[in-house]
Amino acid sequence: MASHEENTASSPRQDASGVPPWPAQRYEAERDVAVRAARRAAHLIRMHAGQVGDVREKGTHDLVTHVDEEAQRLIIDTLRSAFPGYDVLAEEGTGGRIDPVAGGHRWIIDPIDGTTNFTHGVPPYAVSIALQRGDTLVLGVVLDVARDELFTAIRGGGAFANGVRVRVSRTAALAEGLLATGFPYRRFEHLDAYLGVLRQFLLKTRGVRRHGVASIDLAYVACGRFDGFFETGLQPWDVAAGTVLVIEAGGQVTDFGGDGNPVFDRQIVASNGLLHGALCEVLAPLREIRL
């Protein structure tokens, strides 16, 4: 298996935003620490999968356990010990308005993406860690805990799965596409509209899958396993790391209208780029819906 040092040696390329990237090696140290933090958390998570007794609801169908909280503490301690000047935005304990622009560097952390899956012992569930500088995401790490599959990307340096470079698919026809989504589970007033769009995708594609773990769905788009992903009602920690993966794998990430900053917009569509227009066309009835 190729090492990170070998893989990230390729010259940085201009990303989908058209902004020349920073040298990838600038964030290699942060990537390595984020990977170490994710693996520390994953060790804890594996020991408790499907065996948690203190499941609590933060909101409708929005679960948290002591494992989420302890995993988050392990991750933050690891990151802060190496980069004490970096801010942190993490799922557990976050409340109020979130500023989409970081004052400097800011870690964006989901200690367990897919807590419902985790509490039932049903894969996948993942650790997701991103790094933001100002208004730009510069690093993404997603660790599929059950499969021990590691996805990493540094802005300008490409995307990797277990150290092997990956690219989005070349599927150019919606009829040949395999998509992923997540269903509304906190608010249901727009459920009929969502199901109407889902019906169109079921009719017009090869199928739609629902993992319940946005970071994994985005990582699979980056790897070319899925051709596209869409969902509304997500938080920054659900999608930040996966967004870096998709962009660095050559894909496209926007809101349902094809614009905006989906990480903080509670509405995201990611694709291989070739299918992006077709996905946004089907998603048009949901453009004003942000659950």
The pLDDT tens digits for 206-220 are 999 999 999 999 999
Collapse the DSSP code of 80 into the 3-class scheme (helix H, G, I; strand E, B; otherwise coil) and give the result: helix
Answer whether residue 16 shows pLDDT above 50. no
Answer whether residue 188 shows pLDDT above 70. no
The pLDDT tens digits for 35-69 are 999 999 999 999 888 776 676 665 444 556 888 89
- Of the pLDDT bands very low, low, confident and very high (cuts 50, 70, 90), residue 22 is low
Q: Identify residue 150 by its one-letter amino acid code.
A: L
Helices 28-48 and 66-82: angle between axes, nearest 10 degrees: 160
3-state secondary structure 85-120: CCEEEECCCCCCCCCCCCCCEEEEEEEEECHHHHHH
4-166 CATH, one of 3.30.9.10, 3.30.540.10, 3.40.390.10, 3.30.450.20: 3.30.540.10
- Of the pLDDT bands very low, low, confident and very high (cuts 50, 70, 90), residue 95 is low
174-286 CATH, one of 3.40.50.510, 3.40.190.80, 3.40.50.300, 3.10.20.30: 3.40.190.80
- Of the pLDDT bands very low, low, confident and very high (cuts 50, 70, 90), residue 237 is very high
Name the segment(s) of the chain with CATH classification 3.30.540.10: 4-166
Name the segment(s) of the chain with CATH classification 3.40.190.80: 174-286
- Of the pLDDT bands very low, low, confident and very high (cuts 50, 70, 90), residue 4 is very low
Given a contact cutoff of 8 angstroms between Cβ atoms, the answer to whether 249 and 159 are in contact is yes
pTM of the model: 0.88
